[in-house]
Amino acid sequence: MWLMYTTSMIILILVIIVMSLATILSKKSINDREKTSPFECGFDPKSSARLPFSLRFYLIAVIFLIFDVEIALLLPMTILMQWSNITSWLIVSTLFLFILLIGLFHEWNQGALEWAQ
């Protein structure tokens, strides 16, 4: 038990040292306007290189990923029905679907699923 405690403390100390060194050594002391601007053949850039990003698109993408993962969790439930108790399977699957529907209803009420206003 002490060996595991000692090993974990040594690893924690090493991680803290490496992270501190990386933070100290990665600081850029000189901020040059030419080095931080995007490169366009030596000329000043015509416009900003940063394009505005739609926050609605990002939110829809995150919601899609969440529901996609939940569908991947729903698919094996039909196979598990054969090997498990039907009442426990029914309770777990109903609870899971209920939580999923509450999340969908919440996102719908917040207006996150509307593309245009």
In whole angstroms, give the CA distance from residue 64 to residue 54.
16
In whole angstroms, give the CA distance from residue 9 to residue 57.
44
Q: Is the pTM here over 0.75, yes or no?
A: no
Could you tell me if 93 and 78 are in contact, meaning their C-beta atoms sit under 8 angstroms apart?
Answer: no
For residue 35, pLDDT beyond 70: no
Could you tell me if 39 and 49 are in contact, meaning their C-beta atoms sit under 8 angstroms apart?
Answer: no
pLDDT score recorded for residue 45:
60
User: How many residues would you count in the chain?
Assistant: 117
pLDDT score recorded for residue 30:
64
* Residue 61: C-alpha distances to residues 64, 115, 116 (Å): 5, 12, 15
For residue 95, pLDDT beyond 90: yes
